[in-house]
Structure 1
Amino acid sequence: MSQLQLETLPAPLPAAPCPAAPRRSRAARLVRPALVLLPLLLVGVWALVDRRTAYAGAARLASADPWWLLAALVFTCLTWVAAACVRQGALPERLPPGLLVASQFAAGAANQVLPAGLGAHAVTLRFLQRRGIALPRATASLALYSLVKPVARTLVLLVFLVAFPDVLRLGALVPDDRTLLLAAGGAALALTVAAVLLVTVRALRRPVLGFLRTALTDVRELHTRPGRVLALWGGAAATPLLQGSVIA
């Protein structure tokens, strides 16, 4: 190639710099420890604001029988084991027992902050997804867990009512007609709204139907495995018994 041709060639473009990997700022690294310590900070603030109640509770604990406190602690720890059994019984996949019990301890702690069990379900859903469980399977297991626990609790209560009929005065527990009417009206309204939404909103109908199919498939499979049935229903029945033992 002649000297003239070499001089007319365009100069090579400079290589594009490689994008540097994003570095987490110091503030971002401190967010998670701050969130972990936030509940402890809130407890400390509450103790300072309501010092009289905190002091009275500490005094009662200090004067209590340490062996009974130890027994209550043992039964409290067993409630986490029972909850872990129900969680495992509601899912076909096998979960690591130690991490599952630890997740239920964390779920119980979160449940003290958020109402209606939302904290426990949120922590458990996150744990199941980290274990590779798909979102429909995880949500189906949460729904089965939420359904089995009140059914098992009601059966345990009925057994105790039959065995000890004089323990509770049922007349004082039955709500009046107005309360029953309001509850029935609210339930009917909720079912009607849900039915209308499923019929009219196609984007909502498809995931709901998929969720129901997944849930029914898992329920049929779980109830063909005796180990899962024992964990699911046995753990759900043991939970109110353990909670009552803590109070006793």
Structure 2
Amino acid sequence: MSGPVAAEAARDDVRSPGRPLVAYPVRLAAVVGRRACWQSALCLAVLLGALYVGRRHWSAVRTGAGRLAVADPGWLLVGAVAALGTWAASALAQQGAVTLRLPGSRLLAAQFAASAANHLLPAGLGAGAVNLRFLMRCGLPAGRSAGALAVKAGAGAVARLTLMVLLTLACPGLLRVPHVSPAAFVLGFGAVALLAVLVAGPLWARCHRAVTSLLADIRAVHVCPARATALWGGSFAFAALHCAVVVAVAQAVELPLPPQQTALLYLAASSAAALLPTPGGLGSLDAALAFALTASGAPAATAASAVLGYRLLTVWLPLMPGLLVLTVLMRRKAL
């Protein structure tokens, strides 16, 4: 479940403290249902657009798949090890987001299952639902569980942005910012300011208690140095390991870009793709990353190989085992 959904669910839970806890899943289902309707429509539109683009550039995709088949197996193995590390990093960050000690093996299995569920539902709803059920099974109240998901999502966003800034400062000139005319900047700033004036007041009145509860969760986590270290260490490791997967696959297919530039382009592309609620970024991330690589000077076929290899290691190979683990966890009442 994405951070906004968790925050909205937590707000409902905080705003109605007198209701019994068993009513929380009903309210949560209503929140998820409202968001899933328009997200599914947008997800379908993005996927259709991605299929159209892929059909127009099918020759590059086919050539890229053939190039991936003869890629350096050593670098692909490095990418596979980094992909395995992403689930451990996710488990570490989730442990850091709560003060309660979670069962380590089940926590790791839940993250593996959540990654598979994340590619079946739009905008992280699958992963959020799995993690929410896992935390509640571990004894956390529903509101605290939703708050923990929001804390983890917020830390992940901060870690990704921080890595982008550090790479940009360390390697100036790698990321080209498009030129924006002063008139367009003023117009955009005015539109954002107007929207903030019209929406901020009502939203703040509705979200004030949820934000207060979320800040309390953040303070509680940071009171314990071990939990804070786990939260931020896992969040930074998760983003860095995904960068490592892309860089390893890029080296395997001999992508003619420096590793630090490849990592920076991946972070920028994944951040942009997060605005489109496709399952696991399918279609949106692929198109954004391929465009970023080719715009930076990589051949289209090689860029397609890098994207296909990244998806192979992080989505397609772990998908069926992840769904199997999800089924086992559900049968053992761990979710």
TM-score range, shorter chain: 0.5 to 0.7
Aligned to 2:215: 216
Aligned to 1:130: 137
* Alpha-carbon spacing, 1:101–1:185, altered in 2? closer, same or farther (3 Å): farther
CA distance in 2, matches of 1:174, 1:112: 38
CA distance in 2, matches of 1:192, 1:218: 24
Aligned partner (choices 161, 169, 180) of residue 154 of structure 1: 161
Greater relative contact order: 1 or 2 (C-alpha under 8 angstroms, separation 6 or more)? 2
Identity across the alignment (%): 39
* Alpha-carbon spacing, 1:113–1:224, altered in 2? closer, same or farther (3 Å): same
Structure 1 stretches lacking a partner, 5+ long: 1-49, 199-204
Is 1:242 aligned to 2:251, yes or no? no
CA distance in 1, matches of 2:181, 2:107: 38
RMSD of aligned alpha carbons = 3.0
Q: How many residues align?
A: 189
Alignment of 1:92-171 (within 5 A): 92-171=99-178
How big is the shift at 1:89? 0.4
Between stretches 89-98 and 112-121, larger displacement belongs to 112-121
Give 1:217's aligned amino acid.
A
Counterpart contact for 2:156–2:239, Cα < 8 Å: no
Counterpart contact for 2:114–2:131, Cα < 8 Å: yes
SS for the counterpart of 2:200 is helix
Between stretches 135-144 and 63-72, larger displacement belongs to 63-72
Aligned to 1:30: none
Alignment of 1:14-53 (within 5 A): none
Give 2:130's aligned amino acid.
V
CA distance in 2, matches of 1:88, 1:154: 21
CA distance in 1, matches of 2:179, 2:85: 32
Structure 1 residues 123-179: Cα deviation after superposition (integer angstroms, max 9, x where no partner): 100111122211011011011112111112112211111111121112359995355
Larger Rg over CA atoms: 1
How big is the shift at 1:188? 4.9
Structure 2 stretches lacking a partner, 5+ long: 1-53, 248-335
How big is the shift at 1:63? 1.9
CA distance in 1, matches of 2:180, 2:89: 28
* Alpha-carbon spacing, 1:232–1:166, altered in 2? closer, same or farther (3 Å): same
How big is the shift at 1:191? 2.9
Give 1:219's aligned amino acid.
I
Is 1:84 aligned to 2:91, yes or no? yes
Aligned partner (choices 200, 205, 221) of residue 191 of structure 1: 200
Name segments (4+ residues, structure 1) moved above 6 Å.
52-57
* Alpha-carbon spacing, 1:56–1:119, altered in 2? closer, same or farther (3 Å): farther
Return the TM-score normalized by structure 2. 0.49
* Alpha-carbon spacing, 1:245–1:137, altered in 2? closer, same or farther (3 Å): same
CA distance in 2, matches of 1:98, 1:79: 15
Give 2:94's aligned amino acid.
R
Aligned to 1:23: none
